[in-house]
Chain A
Amino acid sequence: MDDLRDLYQEVILDHGKNPRNFRHPEDANRHAEGDNPLCGDRLTIYLKIGHNGLVEDVAFEGRGCAISMASASMMTEIIAGKTEEAARALFHRFHDFVTGKEEIEGADDEDLEKLIVLAGVKQFPMRVKCATLAWHTMTAAMDGENVVTTE
Chain B
Amino acid sequence: MNAALAEARPSNSAFDVEKVRADFPILSREVHGKPLVYLDSAASAQKPRQVIEAETRVYEEEYANVHRGVHYLSQAATQKFEATRTRIASFINAPDENEVVFTRGASEAINLVAFSYAAHFLKEGDEILISELEHHSNIVPWQLAAQRNGAVIRAIPICQDGQIDMAAYADLLGPRTKMVAITAQSNALGIIPPLERMIPMAHDASAKVLVDGCQAITHRPVDVQAMGCDFFAFSGHKIYGPTGVGALWGRAELLEAMPPWQGGGEMIARVGIEKSTYKGIPHRFEAGTPAIAQVIALKDALDYVDGLGMGAIAEHEAMLLDHAVRRLEAMDGVTIIGTSPAKASIVSFLLDGIHPHDIGTIVDREGVAVRVGHHCAQPVMEYYDIAATVRASFGLYNTLAEVDALIASLEKTREIFA
Please determine whether chains A and B interact with each other in the same assembly.
yes
Q: Looking at chain A, what size class is its interface with the partner chain?
A: 20 to 34
Q: Which of B356, B361, B372, B388 has the most CB of A within 10 A?
A: B361
Contact B361 A7 (CB under 8 A): yes
B360, chain A: closest CB distance, angstroms: 9
Q: Are B355 and A65 in contact (CB under 8 A)?
A: yes
A41 near B357 with CB under 8 A, answer yes
Residues A39 and B373 in contact in the complex (CB < 8 Å), given A63-B387, A64-B387? yes
Contact A4 B357 (CB under 8 A): no
A-facing residues in B305-364 (Cβ within 8 Å) = 353-358, 361-362
Q: How far is the CA of A38 from the CA of B374 in the complex (A)?
A: 8
**When A40-B381, A41-B387 are in contact, do A65 and B357 touch as well, CB less than 8 Å?**
yes
Do the beta carbons of A65 and B358 come within 8 Å of each other? yes
Q: Does B398 contact A (CB under 8 A)?
A: no
Bound CA–CA A35/B416 (angstroms): 26
A39-B356, A40-B378 known; A124 vs B361 contact (CB < 8 Å):
yes
- Is A8 close to B, CB under 8 A? yes
Which chain A residues lie closer than 8 Å to B354 at the CB level? 66
State which of A3, A17, A42, A67 has its C-beta within 8 Å of the C-beta of B365: A3
Kindly supply a per-residue 1/0 record for chain A positions 6-25, scoring 1 wherever the CB is within 8 Å of any chain B CB and 0 otherwise: 01100001000100000000
**Contacts A13-B417, A40-B374; A67 near B387 (Cβ below 8 A):** no
Contact of A4 among B353, B362, B372, B388 (CB under 8 A): B362
CA A3 – CA B387 in complex, angstroms? Answer: 26
Give the interface size bracket for B toward A: 10 to 19
Residues of chain B with a CB closer than 8 A to A39's CB: 356-357, 372-374, 387-388
A67-B361 Cα distance, complex, nearest whole Å? 11
CB distance from B233 to the nearest CB of A (A): 24
Q: Which chain B residues (367-403) contact chain A, with CB distance < 8 Å?
A: 372-374, 378, 381, 387-388
Task: Contact check, B357 vs A17: say whether CB atoms are below 8 A apart.
Answer: no
Q: Is A122 an interface residue (CB 8 A)?
A: no
B115 to chain A, nearest CB (A): 25
Q: Which residues of A contact B365 (CB under 8 A)?
A: 1, 3-4
Residues from chain A with Cβ under 8 Å of B381 in the complex: 40
Taking CB atoms, residues of chain A closer than 8 Å to B358 are: 8, 65-67
Are B361 and A40 in contact (CB-based, < 8 A)?
Answer: no
A127 contacts chain B at the CB level, 8 A cutoff: yes
Q: Is the CB of A4 within 8 A of B416?
A: yes
Chain A nearest CB from B417 CB (Å) reads 6
A38 touches B416 (CB 8 A): no
Residues on B with beta carbons closer than 8 Å to the beta carbon of A5: 416
- The 8 A CB mask of B193-219 against A (1 = contact, 0 = none) is 000000000000000000000000000
Q: Does A130 contact B (CB under 8 A)?
A: yes
A78 to chain B, nearest CB (A): 22
Query: Which residues in B have their C-beta under 8 angstroms from that of A127?
Result: 357, 361
- Knowing A17-B353, A63-B387, A64-B355, the reply to whether A38 touches B373 (Cβ < 8 A) is yes
- A87 CB → nearest B CB, Å: 26
Once bound together, how far apart are the Cα atoms of A104 and B345, in whole Å?
46
B372 contact set on A, CB distance < 8 A? 39
| Alpha-carbon distance A130/B378, docked complex (angstroms) | 19
CA distance A13 to B388 in the complex (A): 19
Interfacial chain A residues near B353, Cβ < 8 Å: 17
CA gap between A41 and B416 in the complex, in Å: 21
Nearest CB of B to A96, in Å: 22
CB of B127, distance to nearest CB on chain A (Å)? 29
Residues on A with beta carbons closer than 8 Å to the beta carbon of B355: 41, 63-66, 69
Q: Which 9 A-B pairs have the closest CB atoms?
A: A40-B387, A65-B355, A65-B357, A40-B374, A39-B357, A40-B388, A66-B358, A39-B373, A65-B358
A-to-B contact residues, CB < 8 Å: 1, 3-5, 7-8, 13, 17, 38-42, 63-67, 69, 124, 126-127, 130
A-B contact sample (18 more), CB < 8 A, given A4-B416, A13-B417, A66-B417: A4-B361, A4-B362, A8-B358, A17-B353, A39-B356, A39-B373, A39-B387, A40-B373, A40-B388, A41-B388, A42-B387, A63-B387, A65-B355, A65-B358, A66-B358, A67-B357, A127-B361, A130-B357
Which residues from chain B sit less than 8 Å from chain A, CB to CB? 353-358, 361-362, 365, 372-374, 378, 381, 387-388, 416-417
Show 14 residue pairs from A and B whose CB-CB distance is below 8 angstroms, ordered by the A residue. Answer: A3-B365, A4-B362, A39-B373, A39-B374, A40-B378, A41-B355, A63-B355, A63-B387, A64-B357, A64-B387, A65-B356, A124-B361, A127-B357, A130-B357
